[in-house]
Homo-oligomer: A and B are copies of this chain.
Amino acid sequence: MPKQVDHEERRRRIADAVCALIDEQGLEAVSLRDVAARAEVSMGAVQRCFRSKDEMLRFALAHVGHQVTARARTRLLAAPAQSPASTVGHLAHEIALLQAHQRAQARVWLAFLAAAAVNPALADDLRGSYTDLETLLTRLIADAGDLPDPAAEARTLLALADGLTAHVLIGHRAPEEAERLLHAHLARLWQ
């Protein structure tokens, strides 16, 4: 057995570089050369890890998806008891990516969202993440109160969170205001 490297670790490292570049200059500015430089590996290494640029981008998308959902689950486990309604609030807050330290993830997410509108492969991956979140939200809402249609509420909440995130990203809404609107929506949900 000759020289061996941890491929998965390297793939994650490269995915982080992709996300950093998207955060700073947008998806259009992501080139294999810049990614390699940012990840501090050679272009050859990047090409060895991913068959093509598209495959690299899809992996990076899944990477942020995992990060967001992992954070959400951690948050849920960290605050276990409390009321079911506030659990939904915590999850929505996590999904909306309104806090400053989530801004980078939000920008990456928005970039992929736009790309997915014209790239079926990306759209498939993105739909997967959305379906997961939606299922989770639906279940929590169903537990929190006896609303007539928990699934519809989950879908509305998800769309609202995404819209607010986008508005914050372009500077049309302050993060605090977006958070306020999100919680006002939830408050009305529980009457």
A residues neighboring B (CB under 8 Å): 24-28, 107, 110-111, 113-119, 123, 126-127, 130-131, 152, 155-156, 158-164, 166-167, 169-173, 177-178, 180-181, 184-185, 188
Q: In whole angstroms, how far apart are the Cα atoms of A118 and B166 in the complex?
A: 12
Q: In whole angstroms, how far apart are the Cα atoms of A12 and B25 in the complex?
A: 28
Q: Which of B27, B115, B127, B167 contacts A158 (CB 8 A)?
A: B167
- 13 A-B pairs besides A127-B170, A159-B178 with CB distance below 8 A are A26-B119, A27-B114, A28-B115, A110-B113, A113-B114, A113-B166, A116-B169, A130-B172, A152-B184, A155-B173, A159-B173, A160-B160, A161-B163
- A35 CB to closest chain B CB (Å) equals 16
User: Contacts A170-B126, A172-B127 known; A115 to B181 CB distance under 8 Å?
Assistant: no
Indicate how many identical chains form the complex: 2
Return chain B residues, CB-CB under 8 Å to A152: 180-181, 184
The answer to whether B162 and A184 have CB atoms under 8 Å apart is: no
Q: List 8 A-B contacts (CB under 8 A).
A: A110-B114, A111-B117, A113-B170, A130-B172, A131-B172, A163-B166, A166-B166, A188-B188
User: Contacts A114-B111, A114-B114, A172-B127 known; A158 to B166 CB distance under 8 Å?
Assistant: no
Return chain B residues, CB-CB under 8 Å to A127: 170-172
The answer to whether A159 and B164 have CB atoms under 8 Å apart is: yes
- A103 CB to closest chain B CB (Å) equals 10
The answer to whether B130 and A167 have CB atoms under 8 Å apart is: yes
